[in-house]
């Protein structure tokens, strides 16, 4: 069962927090005199090719894609298809050969979209509540229409656990009832034990196992996100690949409510949310039946829709090696437009990444000699919903996976436009011999290699290159960081994440330093060029957990480290 909260986005939010922390950490490290090695240098051809990476192209593509006319480039939405056509036209203008379906640049990807419909309702006693403002339904949505009408029962944290010697369902009958669950934790239990025994999955499983008719979570805010922020995500359209299996079970309707709505529900019951929480935190049970009736219904609109990956290729110059290719990826999708007309422009995430990809394609098409291996440029859709476009392409590749030398991915939060870039994070560098290639390029360009200081955060798993990794293709995700006072730009980044990340505020700003983004493109281009011209295709390090043959499926979980 998928977690009720769209944890991917929350995790991503935490992730970027950690990403920023990583940049901070490395500043400290680099302060201790790890000056760039100057031994590695660029060849004349490399310098010439680098010079062909144009800021104008970067700015033009990023600005065009994040313009309101693209309506937030939603996956399988009109705006998304407009963006796909725009990128395909760019590829055509650059002279890339089409590598999509039927001799075109577009690869059709079928999706199933799910959107909470405005018929979704909640009534408690005589009070009706507002969708979004007061409550939001939580996925997975296992039925198009999912009603429940029953008396309300407060069940504290909703936990039944031997280990904790706790049963919040003792003394109340929850079968066929709608239960109100408090999010939180009693003071007398360690966070680790609580996470073990009282995580969302355990609580929902316990309640559903006891036959509840519906679940209402109160005190839904978390340290990472307020109810308002969570609600903003949960009411958004969700997208899955059309062939993704539907949930093999039916769940009762599940909702989160704001604190104000929870208090309104508790009005006349002799208690408030704050009182309940205070008592529950002492470890005491607060479970009891309430003489109020709940009528709740979750209704979703599902559609079979089609989106597009956009893919083109610059054929290699070497008769033998041109059958192999280096792939550049960047997702062009953002959160699109809502039924109420709200647009998510996604300028830094990830119109900028597509701008970097197109500026690299331009530099290669205008350079000679061409690289020995072929160069594929793949702008994918559906990333925001779980790397879907990249998953689809690696399952239905338009170039044999066995012949893909490496994937170089651009995705980020815009740290590269804060100021001139001096630091480069190469996520994945430690797993294959792409690492040394990158190090040489950084040394040759005076960049500071920045290791991923928080591997436990798993940044490497969270963007499109990971779809290639799962298919055995060595890959890197590149992220650029500025020079100068770190605390100053850390604050800027955190402010950005709090207000603009995956929000309508992610727009192109007048103070963007486009040269920073150009530097990231140049580094990406040089790494790809060296991989395209080297004799052998990159290999995983024998110790790498991802070490498997290209094209081979993922090993069974038992073999995973």
Residues binding Zn ion (CB under 5 A): 349-350, 411
Q: How far is the CB of 412 from Zn ion (least distance, A)?
A: 7
Residue 425 pairs with which residues in a beta bridge?
450, 479
Q: Which is nearer to Zn ion, 157 or 410 (CB)?
A: 410
CA dist 482 and 545 (Å) reads 31
Distance, CA of 266 to CA of 287 (rounded, Å)? 13
Other beta carbons within 10 angstroms of residue 509's beta carbon come to 13
CA-CA-CA-CA torsion sign (359, 361, 364, 367):
negative
The angle formed by the CA atoms of residues 133, 494 and 491, to the nearest 5 degrees, is: 140
Structure tokens at 222: 């978390």
Q: Which helix (H) or strand (E) holds 214?
A: strand 214-218
Is the distance from CB of 379 to CB of 330 less than 8 angstroms? yes
- Residues 118, 132: Cα–Cα separation, whole Å: 10
Tell me how far, at minimum, the Cβ of 333 lies from Zn ion, in Å: 9
Measured from the CB atom, the residue of 8 and 45 that comes closer to Zn ion is 8
Nearest approach, Cβ of residue 411 and Zn ion (Å) = 4
Least Cβ distance, residue 331 to Zn ion (angstroms): 6
Cβ contact 316:324 at 8 Å: yes
CB 415 to Zn ion: min, Å:
13
Nearest to Zn ion of 445, 475 (CB atom): 475
Q: Which is nearer to Zn ion, 8 or 295 (CB)?
A: 8
Q: Which helix (H) or strand (E) holds 161?
A: strand 160-161
Closest approach of Cβ 16 to Zn ion, in Å?
10
Q: Which is nearer to Zn ion, 107 or 350 (CB)?
A: 350
The β-bridge relationship of strands 288-314 and 121-124 is: antiparallel
Structure tokens at 51: 């010079």
Q: Report, in Å, the least distance between residue 353 CB and Zn ion.
A: 7
Min dist. Cβ of residue 372 to Zn ion (A): 31
Strand 448-450 and strand 421-427: pairing? Answer: parallel
Nearer to Zn ion, 359 or 445 (CB): 359
Rank residues 346 and 371 by Cβ distance to Zn ion and give the closer one. Answer: 346
Distance CA 353, CA 139 (A): 30
The dihedral through the CA atoms of 337, 75, 77, 509 has a sign that is: positive
CA–CA gap between residue 303 and residue 301 (Å, rounded): 7
Distance of alpha carbon 459 from alpha carbon 457, whole angstroms = 6
Residue 273 or 352: the one with the smaller Cβ distance to Zn ion is: 352
Alpha-carbon distance of 476 to 329, in angstroms, equals 10
Q: Cβ 413 to Zn ion, closest distance in Å?
A: 8
Cβ proximity to Zn ion: between 229 and 349 the closer is 349
């Amino acid at each position: 069962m998928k977690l009720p909260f769209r944890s991917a986005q929350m995790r991503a939010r935490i992730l970027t927090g950690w990403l920023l922390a990583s940049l901070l950490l490395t500043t400290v490290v680099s302060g201790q005199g790890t000056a760039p090695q100057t031994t590695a240098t660029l060849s004349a051809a490399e310098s010439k090719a680098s010079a062909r990476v144009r800021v104008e192209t970067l700015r033009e593509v990023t600005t065009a894609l994040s313009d309101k006319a693209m309506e937030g480039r939603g996956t399988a939405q009109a705006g998304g298809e407009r963006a796909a056509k725009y990128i395909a036209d760019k590829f055509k203008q650059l002279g890339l050969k089409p590598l999509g379906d039927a001799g075109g640049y577009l690869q059709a990807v079928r999706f199933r979209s799910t959107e909470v419909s405005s018929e979704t309702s909640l009534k408690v006693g005589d009070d009706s509540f507002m969708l979004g403002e007061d409550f939001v339904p939580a996925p997975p949505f296992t039925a198009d229409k999912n009603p429940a009408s029953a008396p309300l029962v407060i069940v504290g944290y909703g936990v039944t656990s031997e280990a904790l010697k706790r049963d919040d369902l003792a003394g109340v009958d929850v079968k066929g009832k709608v239960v109100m669950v408090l999010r939180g934790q009693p003071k007398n239990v360690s966070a680790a034990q609580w996470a073990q025994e009282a995580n969302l999955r355990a609580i929902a499983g316990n309640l559903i196992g006891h036959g509840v008719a519906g679940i209402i979570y109160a005190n839904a805010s978390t340290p990472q996100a307020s109810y308002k922020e969570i609600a903003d995500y949960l009411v958004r359209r969700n997208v899955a690949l059309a062939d993704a299996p539907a949930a093999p079970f039916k769940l009762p309707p599940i909702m989160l409510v704001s604190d104000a709505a929870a208090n309104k529900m508790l009005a006349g019951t002799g208690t408030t949310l704050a009182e309940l929480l205070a008592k529950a935190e002492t470890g005491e049970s607060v479970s009891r039946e309430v003489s109020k009736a709940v009528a709740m219904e979750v209704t979703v609109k599902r559609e079979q829709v089609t989106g597009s990956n956009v893919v083109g290729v610059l054929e290699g110059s070497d008769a033998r090696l041109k059958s192999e290719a280096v792939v550049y990826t960047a997702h062009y999708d953002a959160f699109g437009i809502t039924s109420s007309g709200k647009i998510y422009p996604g300028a830094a995430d990830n119109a900028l990444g597509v701008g970097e990809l197109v500026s690299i394609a331009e530099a290669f098409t205008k350079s000679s000699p061409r690289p020995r291996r072929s160069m594929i440029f793949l702008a994918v859709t559906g990333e925001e919903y779980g790397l879907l476009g990249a998953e689809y392409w690696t399952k239905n590749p338009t170039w044999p996976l066995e012949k893909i030398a490496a994937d170089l991915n651009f995705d980020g939060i815009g740290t590269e436009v804060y100021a001139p870039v001096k630091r480069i994070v190469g996520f994945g560098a430690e797993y294959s011999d792409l690492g040394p290639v990158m190090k040489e390029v950084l040394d040759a360009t005076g960049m500071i290699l920045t290791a991923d200081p928080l591997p436990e955060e798993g940044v490497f798993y969270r963007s499109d290159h990971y779809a290639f990794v799962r298919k055995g293709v060595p890959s890197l995700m590149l992220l650029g960081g500025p020079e100068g006072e770190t605390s100053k730009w850390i604050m800027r980044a955190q402010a950005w994440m709090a207000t603009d990340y995956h929000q309508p505020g992610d727009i192109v700003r007048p103070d963007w330093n486009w040269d920073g983004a150009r530097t990231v493109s140049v580094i990406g281009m040089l790494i790809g060029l060296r991989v395209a011209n080297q004799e052998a295709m990159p290999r995983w390090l024998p110790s790498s957990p991802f070490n498997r043959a290209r094209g081979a499926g993922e090993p069974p979980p038992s073999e995973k480290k």
